Structure 1
Amino acid sequence: MTLLRLRKLARDLWATRARIAMMTIAIAVSVLTVIAFLSARAVIGREITRNYADTHPASATLHVPGGVDEAALAAVRARPGVLDAAARATVPARIRVGDGPWRVLVLFVSSPADPQRINKVAVEEGSWPPPQRAVLLERTALDFLGVHTGQRVVVQAGGGAPAAMTVTGAVHDGGVAPAGQEQTAYGYTTTEALAALGLPGTLDQVRIVVGDHSTAADDPSVIDRTAQRVAAGLKAQGHPVSGIDVPPPGRHPHQGQMVMVGFVMLAFGLMALLLSSVLVATMLGGMLTAQIRQIGAMKAVGARTGQILRMYLAQTAAIALTATALAFAPGLALGGVLAGQAARLLNLDIADASPPGGVYAVALTAGIGVPLLVALVPLVRGSRITVRQAIDDHGADRAVPGGRLERVLTRLRGLGRTRMLALRNMFRRRGRLALSVGLLAVAGAMFLTGLNTADGWNSLVGQGIRQRSYDLEIRLDRSYPADRLTALARSTPGVRDAEGWGRTATTVHHPGRVDVAHVYPDEGHDSFTVMAPSADTRMVHLPLKAGRWLRPDDTGAVVLNNLVPGQQAPGVGVGDSITLTVAGHPVTRRVVGIVSDFGTLGTAYLTDRDYAAITGSPGQAEMLRVVTGRHDAATRQAVLDRLERTLARAGVGIQQSTTLDTLRVALDGHVLVLADTLIALAILMGFVGLLGLASALSTSVLERTREFGVLRTLGATGSAIRTVVLTEGVLTAVLSLMFATVATLPLTRVFGNFIGNQAFRQDLPYEFSLPALALWTLFTLAGAAVAGTAAARRASRTTVRQALTTV
């Protein structure tokens, strides 16, 4: 490029420095958003996998009711395909701090001599192994319980007597979910503590790592075959295996949530890239429009189209490079903040906050490549303009005069001259109007879709609560007569109604094999349970997705909730048969219905009559559901405390007890990451859209300097000119609102259903948030007013002399 052309570019940049600065900021904000979204997604996706892998998770857990000796464990380790094995136990329990309520506790138990190579945890306070009457808690449980290291707590397990224990430290377990999300505390202790809890010191689980050489297997079929061979070997040694748990290999229990967060970040990142492209096209089009006469003059003195195109591409590249450089560090910083927030919500440690190289490549493409690519359209069109076209240019599309739109506008009455002028000015540059409206409409659609989807998550939680017509749920340590349980409950002050339900863990049975469940070591995530309410139960009202609910005379029927076909029995549907192991007995039942059951893990519903026939124990129940007289949180907790004392005096052992409020907190916790992410990203997208509107209005004012000068010569006041510009901006915003609202209707359905089915295997309730629409309307109109005010002030100050000297 010649020195003369460089001087021309430099003078252009200085002469239009305000516009160039705005273009640079607009591109930088868009690139910053892309970098932040993609880097946060990449970091969290990598770190959740690393955190889980650092625990060296067991590939499979074999349940051996009688436990195993060291010789049997050594034989397991020596088997082909087994990298390591350890004997463990998982004990469901309860924990209480002071006079507070009982909370759910899962105790992970191992031998004091266990080298902790499998499902290992990082001790952050205290030391391993803990003393005899002590327990280490997962670090998120400290805040959840309101306890600190060295404090005494009360633990009860297996229906035994409560025992005092000391919290001697805290650990980080990358294989469990945060305690607050699950409303469950996780504890780590040794077999020596079991005696204090009145339990035998038997380690009834064999956890194995399956793999070849030093690499753990990630193929479920390989893990399954190896686990079945190990089970056969243990049986031959006199240690029969009752079941096998094979969780999804290498996947954290909340990996699905993280995948959805990543998907949302990727989707919004791509939308930010789209907005960046529209911003570039809008602003470059305006810049070239202002220089049409200059291009005509250069053509008149012999400049070729290619020379002009290269000159303006170089200018665009300089702007894009500057914007990308400005955006890189803040984008990475914001991405780190987003990743850190997600890590806190998911209980992750971030060892490396730097994103992978692919993010940098995408950022450079977004910041430099996309603007250059988008710039080709207006730059090629502008560089091809002829000298005659440049002389004839008057700042409006050729199709406007006499067109259908012009005829419609001329028929409008009652708007006044100023508003009519603003309305007609909007359509002078239809292409730019389309880009400005499209830019703001895309931002608005994503803003509304994000908040609508967040409302859908919250509505799903509310739906899950409304389906439950009980206030308290108490799981017992074994079966008790249902009539006795309900009588005890109804005799407790504050209880209005109660039902005893059958409940037990189950698995899908395949003849000739040990049953395999896909549950995680916490025995909660992806678990599968049989529940047996009476067919006319008043405690739940589950919406049918297919088929029907149970009838009182059903003895060969089962109703599955929506999680079972995806997790436990892929492909099963209404009319199919499914064989389940219930209380040690394989039973085949026909699926008569599938229900939506948000908030409950995989569940198969049988009638109480059928359940009694299978278990051989009619009139027995393992779970109590209770309706209280009042339904506020304080009343529920007070009634639960009284009912627990009543049951304890009657010799009924309690394994777990929760209120409906605790369930709501847990459900809210599971959607909190997604909902918060959607809201944060929606706000960022809204800011990008408003910045685009401000850029478009400023560009419009700058290129119409001559027009405003002419208006001043005709007697227009500064106030009238300001009104024209402000009205034009507000009308543009209103038009974008209409398009955004229409686009949001299908987007909310598609987006919500996709991530709802990916995360929870059911559609999200369709919610259109009127507060979100009101908020976006306020933001848009206020943003248009603010952006228009600056542009209007500049326009109203234009003198006739300035208009005449503008090139």
Structure 2
Amino acid sequence: MTRLRLRKLGRDLWATRSRVAMMTVAIAVSVLAVTAFLTARAIIGREITRNYQATHPASATLHVPGGVDTATLAAARAEPGVLDATARSTIQARIRVGDGPWRTLVLFASDPADPQRIATVAVETGSWPPLKGSLLLERTALGFLGVSTGRRVTVEASGGAPTPMTVAGSVHDGGVAPAGQEQTAYGYATTTALALLGRPQTLDQLRIVVGDHSTASTSSSVIDRTAQRVAARMKALGHPVGSIDIPPPGRHPHQGQMVMVGFVLLAFGLMALLLASILVATMLGGMLTAQIRQIGAMKAVGARTGQILQMYLALAAVIALTATALALAPGLALGRALAGQGARLLNLDIAGESVPAWVYAVALGAGVGLPLLVALVPLLRGSRITVRQAIDDHGADPAVLGGFLERFLTRLRGPSRIQVMALRNMFRRRGRLVLSVGLLGVAGAMFLTGLNTAGGWSSLVAQSISRRDYDIEVRLDKAYPADGLVALARSTRGVVAAEAWGRTAATVHTAGRVDVAHVYPDEAHDSFTVMAPPADTRLMHLPLMAGRWLRPEDTGAVVLNNLVPAQQAPGTTVGGTVTVTIAGRPVTRRVVGIVSDFGTLGAAYLTDRDYAAVTGAPGQAELLRVVTDRHDPASRQAVLDRLDDALTRSGTGIQQATTIDTLRVALDGHVLVLADALIALAVVMGFVGLLGLASALSTGVLERTREFGVLRTLGATASAIRTVVVTEGVLTAALSLLFATVAALPLTGVFGNFIGNQAFRQNLPFEFSFPALALWSLLTLAGAAAASAAAARRASLTTVREALVSL
């Protein structure tokens, strides 16, 4: 490029420095967002896997009711394909601090001499093994329970008596979810603690690591075959296996949540960058429009189209490179901060903040390559302008001049000449108007889609709670007479209704094999239960996705919730059959319906009559659901405390007792990361859109320099000219609101369905957030007025002399 053209580029940069600054800021903000999101996604994706693998998770857990002794443990380790094995137990218990409420506790127990090579935890305070009468808590449980190391707590195992224990320290377990999200505390103790809690010291779980040489297998089929072979060996040794748990190999319980949030961050980040690239194209197109006569003059003295294109491409490249250079370091820093926040929400330790090379490559390619690619269209169009087109340019699209729209706008009358003039000016450059409206409209559509999706998730939680017409749920340690449970509950002050349900853990059965479940070691994530509500139940109503609900006379029918076909029995549909092991007995039932049951893990529903026949225990129940007279959290908890005392005095063992508020908090906790990400992304979108509007108005003012000079000659005041420009900006923003609202409707449906199916195998309810629309409207119109201010001031300062010398 010659020195003369370089000098022109330099002068153009200085002359349009405000517009160049806007282009640079727009690209920089978008590159910063993309870099931050990619960085956070890369770090969290790496660390969630590393944290989980650092626990050396078991490939499979074999449940051995008779217990695992030294001989069977040695036999398991000797099996081909088994890298290691250990004996453990998982106890469902409750814990309370002082006189506070009971909380759910999952207690993992092992032998004091266990080498801790499988399902290991990192001790942060205290030491392993804990002393007799003490336990270690997962670190997130400390804040959840409001307890510190050295404090005394009360622990009650299923069927046992409340036992004082000491919190001897804390650990980090990368294989469990945060306690606050699950509303469950996780504890770690030895077999000596089991004796204190009234439980046998026998360890009834055989955990094995399956693999080749020293590498754990990530193949579910390989793990399944090996576990079945080990189960056969255990049976031959006189220790039959009841069932086998095989969680998704190498996947953290919240891996799907992380993948979903990562996808949202990436998709919205790239959309922000695309908007910024369109903005740059719009600005460069406006710059070329302002220089049409200069291009015509250069063509007149012999400049070729390629030379002009090269010159303006170099200008775009300088802007993109500068913006990317400015944004890269802050984007990496912000990404690391976001990763840290995500790690806290997912209970992860970040070992290193190094960013893979592909993040730098994508950021550079996106920040430089995409804007140049998008800008190529207006640059090509502008560089091809002929001398005649340059002479004939009047600052308006030729299609508008003399066309129907021009005639319509000319005849248009309104309450104010300023408003009519602003409306006419909007359509002078219809292509630019489309870009401005589209840019701000897409930003608004993304804003509304994001908040609509977050609202849909909240609505799904609210719907789930509203379909549970009870206030308290109590899970018992074994079956008790249903009539006695209901009578005791109804005699408790504050209880207005109660129902006793059948409930037990279950597995899908395949003939000739030990049953396999895909539940995690916490025995909650991906678990499967069978439930039997009373025939006339009024405490739950579930919407049907297919088929019908149970009839009182049904004895060979089952209704599944939507998670069972997705997790436990793939391919199961209405009209087919499913074989389930209930109380040690495999039974086959015809699937008559599938229901949406958000908030409940995998569940199969039988009639109480059928359940009694299968279990051989008519009139027995393991679940109590209660309706209270008042429905605020404090009143529910007070009734639960009284009911808990009454059940305990009657000798009824409680496994878990919670209010419906606990479930709501747990469900809301799973969407916190997503909601925060969507709101942050929406703000980025809106900022880029407003920059686009400011650019379009600035370009329009430059094009109409002579027009504003004429207006000043005719007596127009500076205030009137400013009002024309600001009104034009506000009207453009108002038009974008219509576009954003219409575009957000299908986007909300598509995006919500994707998110819902990824997370819970069902669509999110369609929610259109009118408060979000009101907020976006307020921000857009106020932002448009503010974005128009600089262009309006520039227009109001136009003098007659400037108009006369304007080319």
- TM-score normalised according to structure 1 size: 0.99
Deviates more, 1:99-108 or 1:207-216: 207-216
Which amino acid in the other structure matches residue 282 of structure 2? T
Instruction: Determine helix, strand or coil for the equivalent of 2:625.
Output: strand
Instruction: Determine helix, strand or coil for the equivalent of 1:507.
Output: strand
How far is the alpha carbon of 1:704 from its aligned partner?
A: 2.6
Which amino acid in the other structure matches residue 755 of structure 2? I
The superposition leaves residues 129-182 of structure 1 with CA deviations (integer Å, 9 ceiling, x where unpaired) of 111111111111000000001100000002211111110111111111100010
Instruction: Determine helix, strand or coil for the equivalent of 1:469.
Output: coil
Q: Distance in 2 between matches of 1:141 and 1:412?
A: 68
1:426 — aligned with what? 426
Q: Distance in 2 between matches of 1:751 and 1:383?
A: 40
Which amino acid in the other structure matches residue 4 of structure 1? L
The superposition leaves residues 501-534 of structure 1 with CA deviations (integer Å, 9 ceiling, x where unpaired) of 1110000000100000000000000000001111
Which amino acid in the other structure matches residue 571 of structure 1? G
2:444 — aligned with what? 444
2:375 — aligned with what? 375
Residue correspondence of structure 1 range 82-231 to structure 2 within 5 A = 82-231=82-231
Q: Distance in 2 between matches of 1:504 and 1:466?
A: 24
1:71 — aligned with what? 71
Q: Distance in 2 between matches of 1:40 and 1:143?
A: 25
1:290 — aligned with what? 290
8 Å CA contact 2:445, 2:741 repeated in 1: yes
1:773 — aligned with what? 773
2:650 — aligned with what? 650
How far is the alpha carbon of 1:69 from its aligned partner?
A: 1.4
8 Å CA contact 1:422, 1:727 repeated in 2: yes
Query: Between the two proteins, what is the percent identity of the paired residues?
Result: 80
Q: Distance in 1 between matches of 2:525 and 2:769?
A: 32
Instruction: Determine helix, strand or coil for the equivalent of 1:617.
Output: coil
Q: Distance in 2 between matches of 1:628 and 1:776?
A: 41
8 Å CA contact 1:320, 1:368 repeated in 2: yes
The question of 1:409 aligning with 2:425 is answered no
Which amino acid in the other structure matches residue 555 of structure 1? T
Residue correspondence of structure 1 range 292-691 to structure 2 within 5 A = 292-691=292-691
The superposition leaves residues 159-217 of structure 1 with CA deviations (integer Å, 9 ceiling, x where unpaired) of 21111111011111111110001000000111111111111111100111111111111
Instruction: Determine helix, strand or coil for the equivalent of 2:248.
Output: coil
1:263 — aligned with what? 263
Q: Distance in 2 between matches of 1:195 and 1:762?
A: 44
Which amino acid in the other structure matches residue 56 of structure 1? H
Instruction: Determine helix, strand or coil for the equivalent of 1:365.
Output: helix
1:733 — aligned with what? 733
Which amino acid in the other structure matches residue 363 of structure 1? A
The superposition leaves residues 263-317 of structure 1 with CA deviations (integer Å, 9 ceiling, x where unpaired) of 1112101211220121111100011111111111111111111111111111111
8 Å CA contact 2:274, 2:370 repeated in 1: no
Instruction: Determine helix, strand or coil for the equivalent of 2:671.
Output: helix
Which amino acid in the other structure matches residue 731 of structure 1? L
Which amino acid in the other structure matches residue 433 of structure 2? L
Question: After TM superposition, what 4+ stretches of structure 1 lie above 6 angstroms from structure 2?
Answer: none
Q: Distance in 2 between matches of 1:15 and 1:750?
A: 45
Deviates more, 1:518-527 or 1:280-289: 280-289
Q: Distance in 1 between matches of 2:171 and 2:396?
A: 69
Q: Distance in 2 between matches of 1:601 and 1:760?
A: 10
Instruction: Determine helix, strand or coil for the equivalent of 2:593.
Output: strand
8 Å CA contact 1:37, 1:268 repeated in 2: no
How far is the alpha carbon of 1:414 from its aligned partner?
A: 2.0
How far is the alpha carbon of 1:611 from its aligned partner?
A: 0.7
Which amino acid in the other structure matches residue 715 of structure 1? G
Q: Distance in 1 between matches of 2:588 and 2:172?
A: 42
Which amino acid in the other structure matches residue 591 of structure 1? V
Q: Distance in 1 between matches of 2:22 and 2:597?
A: 51
Deviates more, 1:652-661 or 1:678-687: 678-687
8 Å CA contact 1:42, 1:355 repeated in 2: yes
Q: Distance in 1 between matches of 2:213 and 2:129?
A: 29
RMSD across aligned C-alpha pairs, in angstroms? 1.1
Q: Distance in 2 between matches of 1:140 and 1:286?
A: 55
Instruction: Determine helix, strand or coil for the equivalent of 1:522.
Output: coil
Q: Distance in 1 between matches of 2:608 and 2:675?
A: 38
Instruction: Determine helix, strand or coil for the equivalent of 1:154.
Output: strand
Instruction: Determine helix, strand or coil for the equivalent of 2:136.
Output: strand
Which amino acid in the other structure matches residue 502 of structure 2? G
8 Å CA contact 1:281, 1:374 repeated in 2: yes
8 Å CA contact 2:469, 2:627 repeated in 1: yes
Q: Distance in 1 between matches of 2:322 and 2:84?
A: 55
8 Å CA contact 1:62, 1:206 repeated in 2: yes
Q: Distance in 2 between matches of 1:164 and 1:535?
A: 41
How far is the alpha carbon of 1:76 from its aligned partner?
A: 1.0
Instruction: Determine helix, strand or coil for the equivalent of 2:501.
Output: strand
8 Å CA contact 2:278, 2:375 repeated in 1: no
- TM-score normalised according to structure 2 size: 0.99
Deviates more, 1:706-715 or 1:59-68: 706-715
Which amino acid in the other structure matches residue 262 of structure 2? G
Which amino acid in the other structure matches residue 424 of structure 2? R
8 Å CA contact 2:269, 2:681 repeated in 1: no
Which amino acid in the other structure matches residue 27 of structure 1? I
Q: Distance in 1 between matches of 2:670 and 2:10?
A: 55
How far is the alpha carbon of 1:683 from its aligned partner?
A: 2.0
Instruction: Determine helix, strand or coil for the equivalent of 1:542.
Output: coil
2:692 — aligned with what? 692
Q: Distance in 1 between matches of 2:82 and 2:273?
A: 48
How far is the alpha carbon of 1:415 from its aligned partner?
A: 4.0
How far is the alpha carbon of 1:543 from its aligned partner?
A: 0.8
The question of 1:57 aligning with 2:57 is answered yes
Q: Distance in 2 between matches of 1:363 and 1:711?
A: 47
Deviates more, 1:324-333 or 1:171-180: 324-333
1:723 — aligned with what? 723
8 Å CA contact 1:176, 1:522 repeated in 2: yes
8 Å CA contact 1:488, 1:646 repeated in 2: yes
Deviates more, 1:379-388 or 1:168-177: 379-388
Which amino acid in the other structure matches residue 556 of structure 2? G
Aligned residues: 807
8 Å CA contact 1:153, 1:164 repeated in 2: yes
1:760 — aligned with what? 760
The superposition leaves residues 387-408 of structure 1 with CA deviations (integer Å, 9 ceiling, x where unpaired) of 1211211111111111121122
Q: Distance in 2 between matches of 1:167 and 1:497?
A: 38
Q: Distance in 2 between matches of 1:414 and 1:380?
A: 39
Instruction: Determine helix, strand or coil for the equivalent of 1:188.
Output: strand
8 Å CA contact 1:630, 1:636 repeated in 2: yes
1:803 — aligned with what? 803
How far is the alpha carbon of 1:354 from its aligned partner?
A: 3.2
Deviates more, 1:264-273 or 1:606-615: 264-273
The superposition leaves residues 681-712 of structure 1 with CA deviations (integer Å, 9 ceiling, x where unpaired) of 22222222222222222232233323222221
